[in-house]
Structure 1
């Protein structure tokens, strides 16, 4: 089309259709730009992320950092002086030779992944005393770092059959190369250069545990407890009443003095199984039926009964459960620890319903119980995020995390008396994670947010404080979100900080004062910007109450024209377990790809999400359908008030999992604002979803809140354009949750679209086909044009 004709057509349309703003986007060029964005922006950010390796003595470190598409630089740093040495290869650095040798399994050859669409999972358990890196080896043989497993930590990874994963130590040495199979695997990294499948434990004829002095072994045989004397092989049956219906379970937990132990007994329960049908398995014509255990809200759970066994008289004493009548646990055994003096056994009690949490102490001499620490809440206790503790055995104290005064803080307890000795962390900052504890100096280092009045309250900073609450210091300074990694001796830390609108800076700092030793790297993003990527805009506005600040980001297309009108797309995930608007630098490909089609994409955290204090969080209690909508709608309206190019007559929303539930809810409760919703793998009825997540926020026993929050129950109220997406092999959220919505919509004679993806697990919309179908849906319903994808 020549320029004159294009000019006339545009002005003719603008003059004759004055009631409808001229909307941008949806063209074939927009699709090309959107779909090519991941490839165009791949490998365009340099000097941004790298792993630091400390040399013996903890005074020097080295790392390798990418400086260009095919170039790397090796860097050595003297932590005392801040002197930096750079070289094109490792040989150019003055390093001891042993720092570059591999581990015992270094001869294992990495191999490229095989292409596959069959999903599976790995779960790694690190039993080593050092961190382990987990990397995916792509189909071209290139390594892509996916995560770090802390010592004694765990890491779960979704993958596909035939994909290859590399485990390496902190020096880059290969620990193992693993190929994913069609059966989910749980792998122990045992520190010996060998791998064991945890499932092998189930093949053992008896569960055994040896006393610390090596004289005794406890075995579970025929559902009963047997005590074996190792030297003379004498066997004493301590119990004879165990049956398959009410059996003794698990490993004995021995006291340090080997004079007593705790064992568990639990009645048999029926475990729910979810059944899936794989319609199109790649290895055969006929469908496969798959089942897996999956407890849902209200389902029966084990109620393990701990028993105290004393060797002196061979007594087996059930421990009175008055202080722990209804535990929320999926384990058959009681997990706990003994006091160093062997006089008391401790274990956690999270009461089902998540409103009462205790650390229970059991006296070894008498079997009597007490509550060492107790937390109560009229709403919920965030037991997955805010029940950290560290036992200080030398002084008989306990560091404990609690939200009892409305803010997540650390407290110091006297274990013997169960009394609070000190509030450790001052101010209204939210403790996010404890990084290091020094028992000798009685200091704790932790990440906290909400520390500065003029800074985003989600930004995490490293702080240090004494056990008695004195000597508080904030050790990081940059206006951004901080990630820290300590040197092995704790004297230094590497601080990597960034924002959604600021590239990462990496610094070396001293742990005692936070003083900067040197700047290690500042990320280079010129190539990313040159590829057509644009910076997100951070925006803050008041929420539903007119007082509370709500924080989020606004993303514009790369060919943004302020003279045009752009429909608005909101990405939603409002799970109360976290906060989700981006706070660190990243490509944010999903959001940017949608923006390239001609949308303004926004994302913010409303009330009911985490890390802003208990009152902010409690909005979610028995009220998941709220999802922060009143706050986010107010935030979007405030943004549009000064941005006339945001068209609030054309607003859409999309999300997955809990976000899928919220996306559909937008068309039930807020159809006056949202016109179209794409809901992927939603947990549309919380009675259909996993037990731990849903009972955490809606409580137990089940009440009418489960009904009031159900998209299935309210499906007839849907107004606007709705597309549902689900993977037939979803192991995270039962796919029937989506299909029950379909059933309800059909009964209500509602129009909607449905995409069921074969051979696909959770997150179906993030597959290439799902991404394109989501694009098409919003182009059709918000841009009012026929999709013109390639």
Structure 2
């Protein structure tokens, strides 16, 4: 994805372990995907639409619990302080993590009775130790793991970087000595830890080298087995007897061309957005394995120059070869395998099955975008064509008998070709188990309702139409159903019902009645949630716009307790003068309403003239304007460079309905650019902007948007630009992301020509621009910037600066680059706003001889 690295989305999009984890959520959408860098997620304010009186009268659980009077007082963030005793915000303060909130994660434990008698058992890390606690039993506080960050095995030390416990809490898998692969994947040494005896054994005990090359391990729901991946093959380790485990190899054809249980590059980046491509059935009797055949996928080589110690690299670069399908080229051919544990049989769908003989989606072009068990013997397979405008849901039946074949049935068919629509990749389908009141299994899925994304309940799983539409309206559910309460038949979800730039938590009965807001919608808020396995308990994370906090809630008793309060951060903020942030919406041409975020300089005076910086991402379905907390890079620019920083979400971005989003189909880089320029003109009309000091910057898709905006604008509105890791030609980007929005080059040649950065002579009208890229970028290849520079050279365009980061990937973090990239952005922009680039170097072509002007001094080049 472009970066979801979640740039802060990019967006790719979800990042730096230290440096810019603290500057904002810029690296967070770097690492949505959506796909290119989503960029930093900043705090927001918006003039949201008036909501119906009936909504105000609905029951609000914990209304007085969510924000105390102290939490609702947001003067530190939303109002500029005039107290001279306060410290002004500096780049150094943001860089060193001064304003980074404490956010804890927990692992909810699923017990045999979780659905009907949820105990709220969870594991939390405190001082590097792992403790079992319970919301039902407040006295429970059992230490499960106290070995710290390092273990020793056979006289070798291993750094423990992850601990995952089985549901029965008898064992844990320790992930040690990770070695980065792609965005989400890595290789590591894996060990099994016996909680009672505290003994440790490697998953592969016979070969230390093999054990260090395991790509993935997943514990079965019944805690008896561990599936793991080695050299693209799937293995099963039976750990029911810790002292005498048994290992079974399930697949045997894994290679550089065949991926079993582990996604290839494009499926990891764009489809599953994870390193996992295998799924246990609820009762652990079956294991679904995605098989990818990359034999025909073209190879993209990436040279690495500085992998050794600085100044001590080899004479020749290391060449890494990635199976990377670019737009219009062959995708991996994907299929599913299902392994029955009891019978030790691996099955695939027969060649005659409808799955392999679909009239709309060819076997060589299909995308399998989601796999979800909807019972112990039925699995849902979500399939689209390569251009993502045909969607089919297959239900695969898995008979227990070894003599019976797998079979599939097409339960749903949706066609987006008629309205220039596409189907985004989602992973939010949840299984609704049968009960005494429900004789059949079912599932909840996202479905379009009058142009907005909503929830629908399907039962039985092979139903072609919803049994019930659970939500509707001119707003959207975010990321599907969050949880299902089996006891009360209640569905929980997050939505934009109050405002497209806020997130609130709601519930609705499984029959579609009694929708209630769980969080207080009278307060501006951005919430995230993590539910216990029975959905009685909730870890509620308030993420802004004020200082974040977390609470543990009992939804049955309507009680809560503080989990993190970030009082230390509140005290720190009291010491600083923080730039004021405004949120709202503006109306552009044709009554187009867009959301914005504006960060103002310290001691802002509307009678003065300030530089203007637009921070942009703009990728399809993305969102930067969010009411979440951040003292970010935008805050630094406002405070230290005395500039106004603006972010807008123009057409093509998400959470405002299909009509707003889908207008960019087949024509990327057009409407998005027009909206950036129109919004900039609006800010200039306010009277406090210096029209000669205007700039735009972005990363990944935002880098692309920066260049396309400068290209179209020709220096009329934006005088400067900073583009990081940009796509410059969509033929160079991966097929899954690109074709979802552009179709294939073969079917949309004109669109690809128009969407690439191509009118390079237009850049001569800009005062100056900056281009930065990592040479080891496996996502947006360095090829994009090199081709663009070559076009600039041919056209004689020289009013730009270039900075290259050796071996850095899309997030730009290799060898201290995570710090330097923002240093370069900051100092370059400081020079631009300081007037250093006012006298632009220009080139006049005189048939092999040209004259140039630099700082007012004339010279003749070497050809003169």
Query: TM-score if structure 2 supplies the norm length?
Result: 0.63
In the alignment, is the contact (CA less than 8 A) between 1:566 and 1:646 conserved in 2?
yes
Shift in Å, 1:581? 2.4
Partner of 1:406: 451
Counterpart-to-counterpart distance in 1, 2:583 and 2:313: 51
Take 1:503 and 1:476, find their aligned partners in 2: how far apart are those partners? Answer: 17
Does residue 1:458 correspond to 2:506, yes or no?
Answer: no
Query: Partner of 2:468: helix, strand, or coil?
Result: strand
Q: Could you tell me which of 414, 424, 431 is aligned with 1:383?
A: 424
CA contact (8 A) 1:130 1:169 kept: no
Counterpart pick for 2:97 among 42, 61, 67? 42
Aligned residue number for residue 488 of structure 2: 441
State the shift of 1:423 in Å.
Answer: 0.8
- Structure 1 partner of 2:25: none
Deviation at 1:457, TM superposition (A): 1.7
Compared CA separation, residues 126 and 429, structure 1 to 2 (3 A): farther
1:408-423 superposed matches below 5 A? 408-414=453-459, 415-423=461-469
Tell me the distance in 1 between the aligned counterparts of 2:513 and 2:194: 38
* 2:742 is aligned with 1:695: no
> Aligned with 1:503: secondary structure?
coil
Q: State the shift of 1:769 in Å.
A: 2.4
Is this contact kept in 1: 2:389–2:422, CA < 8 A? yes
Residue of 297, 302, 306 corresponding to 2:327: 297
Q: For 1:687, what is the secondary structure of its paired residue?
A: helix
Q: Closer, same or farther in 2 for the Cα pair 1:664/1:606, shift >3 Å?
A: same
Aligned partner of 1:663 in structure 2 is 706
Q: Deviations over 1:322-380 (max 9, x none)?
A: 2453258798x9986787696x7753321111001111246788988642122221333
Confirm or deny: 8 A CA contact 1:135 1:167 kept in the other structure. Answer: no
Corresponding residue of 2:476: 430
Q: Does 1:474 align with 2:517?
A: yes
Which residue among 771, 775, 784 is the counterpart of 1:724? 771
1:775–1:423 distance in 2 versus 1, CA, 3 Å: same
The structure whose RCO (Cα within 8 Å, separation 6+) is larger is 2
Is 2:809 the counterpart of 1:761? Answer: yes
1:325 to 349, 355, 361: 361
Question: For the residues of structure 1 that align with 2:723 and 2:637, how far apart are their CA atoms?
Answer: 18
C-alpha spacing 1:448/1:203, structure 2 compared with 1 (3 Å)? closer
- Aligned CA distance change for structure 1 residues 775 and 388 (closer, same or farther; 3 Å): same
Q: In 1, distance between residues paired with 2:453 and 2:216? A: 34
Counterpart CA distance in 2 for 1:679 and 1:397 is: 47
Between the aligned partners of 1:490 and 1:481, the Cα distance in structure 2 is 20
Shift of 1:95: 4.2
CA distance 1:54–1:572, change in 2 (3 Å): closer
Give 1:267 deviation, angstroms.
7.5
Conserved 8 A contact 2:227-2:237: no
Q: Following the alignment from structure 1 to structure 2, what is the Cα–Cα distance between the partners of residues 305 and 334?
A: 11
SS state of the match for residue 150, structure 2?
coil
Q: 1:528 aligns with which of 556, 573, 593?
A: 573
Tell me the equivalent position of 2:386.
352
Q: How far did 1:464 drift?
A: 0.8
Matched, 1:581 2:625: yes
Residue 465 of structure 1 and its aligned partner are, at CA, apart by 0.8
Aligned residues: 653
Structure 1 residue aligned with 2:664: 620
Where do 1:134-173 residues align within 5 Å? Answer: none
Equivalent residues of 2:621, 2:655 under 8 A apart: no
Distance apart, 1:203 and its partner CA:
6.7
> What is the deviation of 1:219?
6.6
Determine the C-alpha separation between the residues in 1 that align with 2:688 and 2:396. Answer: 65
- Name 2:846's counterpart in structure 1: none
Equivalent residue for 1:12? none
Q: 1:496-507 alignment to 2 at 5 Å?
A: 496-500=541-545, 502-507=546-551
Contact kept, 8 Å, 2:390 with 2:414, in 1: the verdict is: yes
Deviation of 1:677 after TM superposition, in Å, equals 0.9
* Residue range with higher mean Cα deviation, 530-539 or 675-684: 530-539
8 Å CA contact retained: 1:49, 1:65: no
Taking a change above 3 Å as real, the CA distance of residues 404 and 325 of structure 1, as seen in their structure-2 partners, is: same
**How has the CA–CA distance of structure 1 residues 561 and 375 changed in structure 2, closer, same or farther, with 3 Å as cutoff?**
same
Distance 2:379 2:123 in 1: 44
Is the CA contact 2:174–2:193 (under 8 Å) kept in the aligned structure 1? yes
The 3-state SS of whatever aligns with 1:354 is coil
Match among 771, 783, 788 for residue 741 of structure 1: 788
- Secondary structure in structure 1 of the residue aligned to 2:547: strand
- Cα distance, 1:475 vs. partner? 0.8
CA contact (8 A) 1:544 1:630 kept: no
Deviation at 1:198, TM superposition (A): 5.4
**Is the partner of 1:767 in helix, strand or coil?**
helix
Gaps of 5+ in 1: 1-31, 67-73, 81-93, 112-121, 138-153, 211-216, 224-249
CA displacement at 1:597 relative to structure 2: 1.9
Which residue in the other structure is 1:186 paired with? 215
- Measured against aligned partners, the alpha-carbon deviations of 1:530-579 in whole angstroms (never above 9, x if no partner) come to 2443342223212443242x222222334645553211011111121421
Deviation string 1:191-242 (CA, Å, 9 cap, x unpaired) is: 89999995525478xx8999xxxxxx9976789xxxxxxxxxxxxxxxxxxx
Name the larger-Rg structure. 1
Equivalence map 1:242-391=2 (5 Å)? 269-281=295-307, 282=309, 283-293=312-322, 294-304=324-334, 317-320=351-354, 321-323=357-359, 325-326=361-362, 346-361=380-395, 370-378=409-417, 379-385=420-426, 388-390=429-431
